[in-house]
């Protein structure tokens, strides 16, 4: 959390400020790429391509510095920590690094897209990511005398099944959501009914109202099943970053920049992965892109690699989109002043 860096490149004249963000953190994964530049720290790996993002932003910074006298305003370079735990962007905002910024640009490598393509769209792109735990407390006892126990395993089984009805019966078929119970801990041996079971999982949504509805139904279902099976069901809800939702005007500028940089623009599919870039979009207009890298494996895989020729293209895109956005904002300010 203490490793973030930001820097300003100030143009020849005063004007607006455009931020460009790259995330810099790694993951607790043992690298299996056998590359000469593989991680030297065992159990730590850039398995999401954040080193690609960092390098591309450094390349863009070089281009901005070379052309510093040709633009009016400020380019703010944000090298953000802790994206993988969803806390870095909040710290950047709390520290005031977004103060005075008029718009923001970001990207994420996409291994399944070929080099030379970029996914850009207005509106939702990546999901809100929430995490939950449910502690189900009953009364343990002998497996052969279930009438003397209050079985949290039976209750948890009913909860897991019922929670799936949220997506199938409470979310509109025109919306999208995911409710996944991914961990069950309970019991110690074959002939004992345990006193407690714990569930853990995640919820993914793309719409604020859907997000509220899913959470509401989650609590209602766990509470009602707990009452029906005479167990206590205590929910802990950990709200993550909101959905990444791209501003229409900034995205249109980004598309123009991508075309001038020789990239092929595609309509990206929605991703149920999360991204705390969305925290910036709560305060200022921004656009986030999926950048083709022709990777061999998807994100978070121990053998994750990408085509390094995409680095120069990404640097050029960040430079072109940032400078174009700066110019358009400057013209807007001159018209309204």
The number of domains in the chain is 2
The CATH number given to whatever domain includes residue 157 is 3.30.70.360
**Joined tokens for residue 129:** 């990511």
Per DSSP, the three-state class of 161 is helix
Considering 223, 239, 255, which residue would you say is the last residue of a domain? 239
The structure's pTM equals: 0.94
Give residue for tokens 């623009």.
265
Same domain, 40 and 138: no
Please tell me the predicted confidence (pLDDT) of residue 333. 82
> What are the beta bridge partners of residue 245?
124
Please tell me the predicted confidence (pLDDT) of residue 73. 97
Same domain, 249 and 289: yes
Residue 8 contacts residue 94 (beta carbons within 8 Å): no
Same domain, 74 and 96: yes
Same domain, 108 and 61: yes
Considering 218, 239, 260, which residue would you say is the last residue of a domain? 239
Considering 188, 216, 239, which residue would you say is the last residue of a domain? 239
Please tell me the predicted confidence (pLDDT) of residue 308. 96
Same domain, 91 and 147: no
**CA–CA gap between residue 301 and residue 32 (Å, rounded):** 9
**CA–CA gap between residue 329 and residue 270 (Å, rounded):** 28
Burial class (CB in 10 A: 0-12, 13-18, 19+), 174: exposed
Q: What is the pLDDT along the chain (337 residues), one digit of tens a residue?
A: 578 999 999 999 999 999 999 999 999 999 999 999 999 999 999 999 999 999 999 999 999 999 999 999 999 999 999 999 999 999 999 999 999 999 999 999 999 999 999 999 999 999 999 999 999 999 999 999 999 999 999 999 999 999 999 999 999 999 999 999 999 999 999 999 999 999 999 999 999 999 999 999 999 999 999 999 999 999 999 999 999 999 999 999 999 999 999 999 999 999 999 999 999 999 999 999 999 999 999 999 999 999 999 999 999 999 999 999 999 999 988 777 6
**Joined tokens for residue 63:** 């281009």
Residue 140 contacts residue 149 (beta carbons within 8 Å): yes
Q: How far is CA 311 from CA 4, 144, 262, 308, 337, in A?
A: 21, 64, 14, 6, 39
Of the candidates 126, 24, 108, 119, the residue with the CA atom closest to the CA atom of residue 299: 108
**CA–CA gap between residue 138 and residue 182 (Å, rounded):** 21
Q: How far is CA 15 from CA 93, 105, 312, 333, in A?
A: 21, 17, 27, 8
Same domain, 18 and 163: no
Give residue for tokens 């899913």.
214
Strands 72-80, 13-23: pairing is parallel
Query: For the chain, how far is it from start to end, CA to CA, in angstroms?
Result: 39
Please tell me the predicted confidence (pLDDT) of residue 263. 98
Same domain, 205 and 318: no
Same domain, 157 and 54: no
Same domain, 275 and 173: no
**CA–CA gap between residue 55 and residue 21 (Å, rounded):** 12
Residue span of the structural domain in which 203 resides: 128-239
Please tell me the predicted confidence (pLDDT) of residue 337. 64
Same domain, 225 and 159: yes
Residues in the chain: 337
The CATH number given to whatever domain includes residue 266 is 3.40.630.10
**CA–CA gap between residue 249 and residue 219 (Å, rounded):** 38
Same domain, 277 and 180: no
Please tell me the predicted confidence (pLDDT) of residue 1. 57
Kind and range of the H or E run holding 155: helix 152-163
Kind and range of the H or E run holding 253: helix 248-260
Assign residue 294 a region: left if phi > 0, alpha if psi is -120 to 50, beta otherwise? left
Same domain, 227 and 179: yes
């Amino acid at each position: 959390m203490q490793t973030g860096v930001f820097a300003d490149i100030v143009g020849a004249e005063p004007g607006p400020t455009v931020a460009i963000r790259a995330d810099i953190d790694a993951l607790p994964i043992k690298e299996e790429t056998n590359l000469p530049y593989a991680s030297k720290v065992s159990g730590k790996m850039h398995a999401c391509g954040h080193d690609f993002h960092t390098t591309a932003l450094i390349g863009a910074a070089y281009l901005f510095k070379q052309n510093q006298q040709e633009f009016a305003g400020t380019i703010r370079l944000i090298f953000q920590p802790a994206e993988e735990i969803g806390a870095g962007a909040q710290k950047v905002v709390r520290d005031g690094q977004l103060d005075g910024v008029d718009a923001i640009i970001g990207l994420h490598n996409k291994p399944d897209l070929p080099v030379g393509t970029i996914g850009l769209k207005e509106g939702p792109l990546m999901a809100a990511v929430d995490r939950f735990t449910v502690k189900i407390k009953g009364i343990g006892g002998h497996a052969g005398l279930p009438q003397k126990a209050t079985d949290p395993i039976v209750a948890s089984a009913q909860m897991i099944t019922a929670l799936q009805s949220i997506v199938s019966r409470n979310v509109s078929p025109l919306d999208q959501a995911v409710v996944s119970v991914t961990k069950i801990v309970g019991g110690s041996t074959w002939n004992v009914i345990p006193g407690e079971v714990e569930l853990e999982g995640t919820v993914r949504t793309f719409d604020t109202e859907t997000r509220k509805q899913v959470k509401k139904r989650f609590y209602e279902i766990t509470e009602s099943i707990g009452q029906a099976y005479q167990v206590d069901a205590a929910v802990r809800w950990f709200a993550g970053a909101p959905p990444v939702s791209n501003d229409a005007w900034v995205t249109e500028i980004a598309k123009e920049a991508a075309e001038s940089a020789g990239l092929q623009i595609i309509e990206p599919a929605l991703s149920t992965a999360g991204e705390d870039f969305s925290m910036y979009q709560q305060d200022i207009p921004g656009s986030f892109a999926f950048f083709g890298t022709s990777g061999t494996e998807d994100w978070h895989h121990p053998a994750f690699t990408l085509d390094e020729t995409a680095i120069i293209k990404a640097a050029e895109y960040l430079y072109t989109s940032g400078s174009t956005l700066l110019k358009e904002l400057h013209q807007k300010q001159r018209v309204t002043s």
